[in-house]
Structure 1
Amino acid sequence: MSFLLILLVAVLIVFGIPDIRRSLISRPVFRIFKRILPPMSVTEREAMEAGDVWWDGELFSGQPDWFSLLATKPPTFSADEQAFIDGPLEQLLAMLDDFEITQHQRDLPSEVWDFLRKHKFFAMIIGKEYEGLDFSAAANSYIVTRIATRSLSVAVTVMVPNSLGPGELLTHYGTQEQKKRWLPALARGEELPCFALTGPEAGSDAGSIPDRGILCRDVFEGQEVLGIRLTWSKRYITLAPVASVLGLAFKLEDPEGLLGDKRDIGITCALIPTSHPGVVIGDRHWPLNQAFMNGTTSGSDVFIPADWIIGGIDYAGKGWRMLVECLSAGRGISLPALATATGHNAQRFTGAYAYVRQQFGLPIGKFEGVQEAMARIGGLNYSIESTRRLTVTALCEGYSPSVITAMTKYHMTEMGRHVMNDALDIHAGKGIQMGPLNYLASGYQGIPISITVEGANILTRNLMIFGQGATRCHPYVLKEMEAAANEDEEQGLREFDALLLKHIGFACGNAFSAFWHGLSGARFANAPVGGETIRYYQQLSRMSRALALCADVSMLTLGGELKRKEMISARLGDVLSHLYMGSAVLKRFEDDGRQQADLPFVHYAMAHHLHGIGQAFSGFFQNFSKPWLGRLLKFLVFPFGNHYQRPADEHARTIAEAMMTPGITRERHTFLSYWREDETDVTGHMELAFLAMHELEPVYKRLKKAQKAGELASDLAGEVLVEQALENGLIDSEEAAQLTRCERLRMRAIAVDSFAPEPIQQGRFEPRDVV
């Protein structure tokens, strides 16, 4: 007892008296911290400092404030936005024939280009003072997603000028002269922009851009001016083949010291008319059979005046910071919109097909093997749409959360990939035969586009999510890094000492809380609601504590090595991501008024995310570089074992049935899908067949009963079925007319396109009429 008392007094003295604490604790830890501090390049540091922290910071804190999250109002559309959605957007969708666009024209029709320009689809992010639409992130996301349910090529064409590009960069950083010169022309569609960043040897590593600009003086328009002599070669540049203005990222050098002593100025962005002498555009790539304009641009020894730098000469060398700040918002809208379109379409039309397509006398959606795949589509689509909404909410609140948008981009596009694979599996032959009736093929081909652009998914998962999240979202690490980098070491030590004391308390609190939650199953954790979702809030709070604990231990023991231990850090990033997506699911359920019909989808999605967290932690513990420490962390987090299970079969069956049932739930879950009431339409033919079969469900049941009783042959379909049923008195003349129409729609819905052989050999697809 006396020993414990002496020990307690010693601890209080060491930690309670600042001079003793700094001498015995803080100074040695400070030196260790400076030694293990991950070395960062300029581009890494600027990326780390860019953007904001929002709900991701709460999840990293170990104590997420659920009341604050649920109190955040979901965004709504302004009157102008709603009018645009109801008017020009719907008119555009009715114009689009994706098979014609991708297979025949391999470009947008001229009338579509003209419509996009006239109605300012390229100007959603440009302010009204410059004749733009000035739409919110919510409207931008909605519009691009809805277009993508009809044509990925058109969606990409619209989304790029409204994401990272000249319009965004000019709005935030352009001089007044640049804004007046370019923004109204961009808004009116008189100018079409592209932005060139990626080159043959510079993709993820922007610091390795080989494109060079040399500051010099030369003659421009008859006068000697300060300018830049540029040489560049870029690829994968969307809209480059048709752009009239080129945004260009390059490394600027000042060998003559025209701006001062610094010779390597750094990454810089400039705006160049493509008509300028020496600018080369026109060549196209062909991105996986899609028709959006994507290609190369180059130039050799091209002179431009220095005031073409975006923001003017004062922004020379600030290009990378500008890019990452703008990219974080665009990344949360553009590619997630394509993934959302995949989810909505897959759920709506796979559900319809699974009901219309029958085998062994039953809709294929009644078979449990098919239901398992359908449930993944419905459950993941619920998560996809929930994540889209929460991320858009952050953007509409004025945040530019770089970690959240990275998580959103990576996981939504990956879930979109899984959803599309399941949809193709269920559709089988109908999904793989190209033609005007195939509503999956173009989207399937476009999935890798979402996976690779705006940060390839492997890079995003392994380097960005936890790499930025561990530093930006942690309540103390970034401040400690700044203290360690202080040139005044004593001042840095004092700052570090104050932070370290708080950090120790934070870490100890997380360790004890994680273990207590593990022992109690988190049943005493706070939750903002009751009912069937209360346990999910408690489990997410528990895993938030576990993440904070494991992140601290990882950074402490691995230091700079953690950046290279990508498999370890990526698993912690997966935990953070599933926490975020689980939060999005719960918030959507509350925002939608706790719809009871949504509960199976919520249960499925939450089981999926908790199981994902459990799997990520299992891999983390198993492969931690210090095995004994991995085992200790596993015991603290899961003292009775990891019991997170995959979604239950009962929820899978309920989701599959909901997908095959017309009504408000199906409409709410697939409201972004576009279809036209036309039986020759790419999606209309399936929707009309689905609805007609449900309307005649009593008639079909009567005929099935007659077939089982031997009163009607079991192998009849189409007009023959109608004739035999009418002859046998099983239906009346009015029902015969309805059944004739329904059978025509049903046979068209399960049909696939075939083509005349000769035109195909000439690159022209002429589909036979499907009867």
Structure 2
Amino acid sequence: MSIAAPILAFLLIGGFAAYHRLRLATWAALLAAALVACWLLGAHRPTVAVIGILSALVAVPLLIPAIRKPLVVAPLLNVFRRILPPLSQTERIALETGSVGFEGELFTGDPDWQMLLDYPKPQLTAEEQAFLDGPTEELCRMIDDWAITHVHADLPPELWDFIKKNRFFGMIIPKQYGGLGFSALAHHKVIQKIASVSSVVSSTVGVPNSLGPGELLNHYGTQEQKDYYLPRLASGQEVPCFGLTGPFAGSDATSIPDFGIVCKGEWNGANVLGVKLTFDKRYITLAPVATLIGLAFRMYDPDGLIGDTQDIGITLALLPRDTDGVEIGRRHFPLNSPFQNGPIRGRDVFIPLSQLIGGAEMAGKGWNMLNECLAVGRSITLPSTASGGAKIGARVTGAYARIRKQFGLSIGRFEGVEEALARIGGKAYTISALSQATAAAVDRGDVPSVPSAIAKYHCTSMGREVVSDVMDVIGGKGIILGPRNFAGRNWQAAPISITVEGANIMTRSLLIFGQGAILCHPWVMKEMKAAQDPDRKAGLEAFDESLAGHVRFGISNAFRSFWFGITGSKIGGAPGDDYTRPFFRKLDRYAANLALMADVSMLLLGGKLKFKESLSGRLGDVLSHLYMASAVLKRHHDEGAPEADKPLLAWSMYNSFHVIETALSDALRNFPIRPVGWALWLLVFPLGRRAEAPGDRLNHRVASLLMAPNEARDRLGAGVFLTPCANNPGGRIDSYLAKAVHAEPVERKFLKALKTKGIEALEFPAQLDEAVAEGVITAEERKLLEELREITLETITVDDFDSHELRAASYYDQPKPGTREAA
């Protein structure tokens, strides 16, 4: 045997051990056996000896605890303690709340895809489906979005009454307290359907069911608070709001200046121990009509009335609207989407300790409480709203692009429009899968901190991109507001979702990867806890175990990144069928890339990483698209892998692959330590970048799905309000598609006759008369063309108004603040 044999054995066994993350002892045993075999079979013995000695010098000290712990692990632990980044209170609490689901698998670099596919398929109960088909459908039929947004700037009284009577505000409240007790999936489906017809109504229904008194009381309230308030909230007797954001505290909620001082005061005629509050909040949804206010404030006890701690911390309380000193301000006007939103203020407002959510025992634990409820709220309301808007946009815009013709062709046949339609369809498919996946995670009992941030950021961002493309396709139909416009209000409202529940820029650059890198990493959190363990011996033992796992983890992800890169992700086990298996393999590669990049970034940058927001944002994009692609594959699997949906699946996957490789490339090119970036490039992209954005042929296939009746189109639009009633212009246009497609062969024959048969009439009815008279079309075909002309006109017609109908008379008829008339 040649000199190459022991070297090859060393490399193959090392690669095998790295790929499969074998323990050091297992690697050493396999290598020893291979070297013995090489020796006995006559390989170049000096080479065998050199490899054996060098390997033993590395392995033996590491395999003997008495040597490893004092000489290797303890010094590394001391270094780790020094470089461990300091955590703010906000960051610490965020890491202590929430749970880790499948996103944790993505951070391992070797996801267990069977675990994902084995999750139960999300399904509604019969009761939940009946509510969706009954009261929710009826509510959607009652909604006149133009009247709400332009005429009344509010829901009409009958709509408020219907919402309260049918307990839409009590979807998350358990049945024992008079609520509906629905699953997160049902909550998602209801908000999605309402949002497809009116974002104002979906916001009105969504807020009481997300972050607010109802959810907080359900999780943390005392039994007395639950018994009193939850039935009133469920029935709509109380309308809730929650005051968190203020002028000087937006995303950094832990720095809120609103405060409460523990003192004695009068409440219901008795002198009791309580809190005197001073607060100034803004952007509070439902505040102008709320009867029950949830409030976040910092609580102080300077006189030691309830303990030894003066700064107790962020605390949550309940304030009835009629509490002395509470001031409900005038309304904000959010971008022509006039859901009830406004400021609330108060000075020296006294409440007893019994009004603290959870009672005095929960004082100072408000940020923990909010973090868990924020995660659930982000998982449902905003992603579901984006899903409803994207789905209705895809269905209706596809129909519009088929019906609307220019230059003798449906506008959807032009390649430029096809590109926009493909983005609309592909992103709607992705948003729908992602929003359903996060709802399913909540139903499994998770508090999905990282997935909720991913869903909030990407659903709302993609939702804005979808409506932007919708506006481009429908042109003048979209920019002229009125009862016939199905997209204009969604276009105006898109930035609202981008802004609320944490600004999207900060969610991307700080939260997704910043939280995920620690919370989801299989070893970092364990190492941090070991480093902070006051018992030095126990900490060393825990760190020793975690460090060994982390080293295997890092070596494995470096090898797997290189291996998948040089093989094009074409080798390796993966679930799925022949069509989806390559997608799973690609995701295996990118998961290994993410894990490698995360490890190197945290190791070399330490605490500075959280200030490298561009790097963090790009790695967050990788994690996000891994999670989104996983959700899309899960959806496709749960729906029985329908053949007709493959173009939508493929568009979503190729788009995610392209974004992932772009983000990795940008991260490596801009890595703060340039030589490290170059070295990582060789591991991540050994043969260069390969992923490309969806191509023209795929765009054509997706666009075609949107423009013709088919089962894939039906699945894509499932769950939105498409009933073609008087107040639903989008539903009417969607209902015309089948008729338009049916009439197209006759239309083509008629248009050809206009050019070749010498039809002289100039007006449409007269042209039809001549065509029938000359035998070009039959009387039945004439009816088809007349109906086609009617539905086309209805599809493209926009509204017009008298000038006084557009004037906000009440505003102009009143003196303005600061003017002489007002004074």
- Which range, TM-score by smaller chain? over 0.9
Aligned ranges 1:560-599 → 2 under 5 Å? 560-599=607-646
Pairwise CA distance, 1:154: 0.2
Map of 1:185 onto structure 2: 232
The answer to whether structure 1 residue 740 and structure 2 residue 786 are counterparts is yes
Whether 2:771 is the aligned partner of 1:725: answer yes
5 Å matches for 1:72-221? 72-221=119-268
Range that drifts further, 338-347 or 5-14:
5-14
Rounded to whole Å, the distance in 2 between the matches of 1:544 and 1:374 is 30
Residue ranges of structure 2 left out of the alignment (5+ in a row)? 1-46, 811-823
- Check the 8 A contact 1:403/1:468 in 2, yes or no: yes
477-486 or 612-621: bigger deviation: 477-486
Equivalent-residue separation in structure 2 for 1:439 and 1:332 (angstroms): 26
Contact 1:242 / 1:282 at 8 angstroms: preserved in 2?
no
Show the counterpart of 2:522. Answer: 475
Q: Which amino acid aligns with 2:663?
A: A
Residue 28 of structure 1 and its aligned partner are, at CA, apart by 2.0
Distance, in Å, in 2 between the alignment partners of 1:719 and 1:385 is 44
Residue among 390, 395, 398 paired with 1:351: 398
Closer, same or farther: CA 474–512 of 1 in aligned 2, 3 Å: same
Within 1, Cα distance between the matches of 2:197 and 2:107?
38
Partner secondary structure for residue 304 of structure 2? coil
* Structure 1 residue 35, shift from structure 2 partner: 1.5
1:750 aligns with 2:774: no
Please say which of residues 248-257 and 667-676 is displaced more in the overlay: 667-676
Q: Deviations over 1:623-672 (max 9, x none)?
A: 11111111111111111011011102111111111111013221111123
**Could you say if the C-alpha distance between residues 627 and 686 of structure 1 is closer, same or farther in structure 2, counting changes exceeding 3 Å?**
same
Structure 1 position 676 matched with structure 2 position 723: yes
1:386-427, Cα deviation, whole Å (9 max, x unpaired): 112222221111111110111011111111111111110011
Comparing 246-255 and 584-593, the one that deviates more: 584-593
Distance 1:460 1:24, change over 3 A: same
SS at match of 1:333: helix
The alpha-carbon deviation at position 532 of structure 1 amounts to: 1.6
Aligned residue type for 1:752: V
Aligned to 2:4: none
DSSP-derived class of the 2:431 partner: helix
2:750 to 683, 692, 703: 703
With over 3 angstroms needed to count, the CA separation of the structure-2 counterparts of 1:642 and 1:438, relative to structure 1, is same
Q: Is residue 395 of structure 1 aligned with residue 468 of structure 2? A: no
Please say if residues 213 and 250 of structure 1, whose CA atoms lie closer than 8 Å, have aligned partners that are also in contact: yes
- Please state if 1:278 is matched with 2:297: no
Q: Which residue of 2 aligns with 1:501?
A: 548
Q: Deviation per CA, 1:261-280, whole angstroms, max 9, x where unpaired?
A: 21110000001101111111
1:292 alignment partner in structure 2:
339
Q: 2:299 aligns with which of 240, 246, 252?
A: 252
- For 1:32-71, what aligned pairs fall within 5 Å after superposition? 32-71=79-118
Q: Structure 1 residues 274, 161: closer, same or farther in 2, change over 3 A?
A: same
**Which residue of structure 2 aligns with residue 769 of structure 1?**
none
Distance 2:379 2:728 in 1: 31
- Asked if structure 2 preserves the Cα contact closer than 8 Å seen for 1:340 and 1:412, the reply is yes
Query: CA-to-partner distance for each residue in 1:248-296, whole Å, 9 max, x for gaps?
Result: 0000011111222211100000011011111111411000011210001
Question: Which residue of structure 2 lines up, in the alignment, with residue 328 of structure 1?
Answer: 375
2:534: which partner in 1?
Answer: 487
Which of 311, 325, 341 in structure 2 is aligned with 1:264? 311
**Cα gap change, 1:716/1:191 in structure 2, threshold over 3 Å: closer, same or farther?**
farther
The answer to whether the 8 A contact 1:679-1:688 is kept is no
- Of 730, 733, 744, the residue aligned with 1:686 is 733
1:735 alignment partner AA: E
Moved more, 251-260 or 739-748: 739-748
Whole-angstrom CA distance in 1 between matches of 2:790 and 2:305: 76
Amino acid at match of 1:5: G
1:460 paired with 2:507, answer yes
The alpha-carbon deviation at position 681 of structure 1 amounts to 4.1
- SS at the partner of 1:696? helix
Distance of 2:216 and 2:727 partners within structure 1:
43
Residue pair 1:14, 1:24 contacting (<8 A) in 2 also: no
Letter in 2 for 1:571: R
Counterparts in 2 of 1:677 and 1:223: CA distance versus 1, 3 Å: closer
Contact 2:329 2:345 in 1 (8 A): no
Equivalent residue for 1:437, pick from 471, 484, 491: 484
Query: Which amino acid in the other structure matches residue 656 of structure 1?
Result: A
Once the two structures are superposed, residues 101-124 of structure 1 have per-residue CA deviations (whole angstroms, 9 ceiling, x without a partner) of 000000000000000000000000
CA distance in 2, matches of 1:281, 1:719: 60
Aligned runs of 1:535-554 on 2, under 5 Å?
535-554=582-601
Give CA-to-partner distance per residue, 1:423-454, whole Å, 9 cap, x none.
Answer: 10011111101011110001111110110111
Distance 1:524 1:288 in 2: 51
Distance 1:130 1:681, change over 3 A: closer
Give the alignment's Cα RMSD to 1 decimal: 1.6
User: 2:708·2:738 contact (CA, 8 Å) conserved in 1?
Assistant: no
Gap change, CA 1:685 and 1:638, over 3 Å in 2: same
User: For 2:132 and 2:726, how far apart are their aligned partners in 1?
Assistant: 24
- Bigger CA radius of gyration: 2
**Structure 2 letter corresponding to 1:22:** K
Determine whether 1:525 maps to 2:572.
Answer: yes
Deviation at 1:78, TM superposition (A): 1.2
Amino acid corresponding to residue 145 of structure 1 in structure 2: Q
1:59-108 Cα deviation digits (max 9, x unpaired):
00111111111111222111211111111111101100100100000000
The separation in 1 between residues aligned to 2:763 and 2:72, in whole angstroms, is 83
State the one-letter code of the partner of 2:714: E
Cα deviation 1:127-155 (Å, max 9, x = unaligned):
00000000001110000010001110000
Q: Is the 8 A contact 1:719 1:743 kept in 2?
A: no
1:446 matched to 2:488: no
Asked if 2 retains the 8 angstrom alpha-carbon contact of 1:348 and 1:673, the reply is no
Q: Find the residue that maps to 2:209 and give its secondary structure.
A: coil
Give the match for residue 35 of structure 2.
none
Residues 355, 712 of structure 1: alpha-carbon distance in 2 compared, 3 angstrom cutoff: farther
AA aligned opposite 1:378: G
**Is 1:18 aligned to 2:65, yes or no?**
yes
Q: CA deviation at 1:595?
A: 1.1
Q: Distance in 1 between matches of 2:89 and 2:194?
A: 38
Assess, with a 3 A threshold, how the Cα gap between structure 1 residues 81 and 679 changes in structure 2: closer, same or farther.
Answer: closer
Q: Structure 1, residues 176-230: CA drift from partner, whole Å, max 9, x if none?
A: 0000110001111100100000000101101210000011122322322110010
Hey, what's the Cα distance between the residues in 1 that align with 2:246 and 2:169? 25
Which amino acid is the alignment partner of residue 529 of structure 2? E
Q: What is the DSSP-based 3-state SS (H/G/I as helix, E as strand, rest coil) of the residue aligned with 1:160?
A: helix
Q: Residues 545 and 680 from structure 1, CA distance in 2 versus in 1: closer, same or farther, beyond 3 angstroms?
A: closer
1:340 match: 387
Change (3 A) 1:718 1:282: farther
Tell me how far apart the structure 2 counterparts of residues 325 and 493 of structure 1 sit (CA, whole Å).
32
Where 2:333 maps in the other structure, the secondary structure is coil
- Runs of 5+ consecutive residues of structure 1 not aligned to the other structure: 765-771
Question: What secondary structure does 2:446 align onto?
Answer: coil
Task: Name the amino acid aligned to 1:601.
Answer: L
Structure 1 pair 151–513 and aligned structure 2 pair: CA distance change class (3 A): same
From 677, 689, 709, the counterpart of 1:630: 677
Task: Tell me how far apart the structure 2 counterparts of residues 52 and 649 of structure 1 sit (CA, whole Å).
Answer: 41
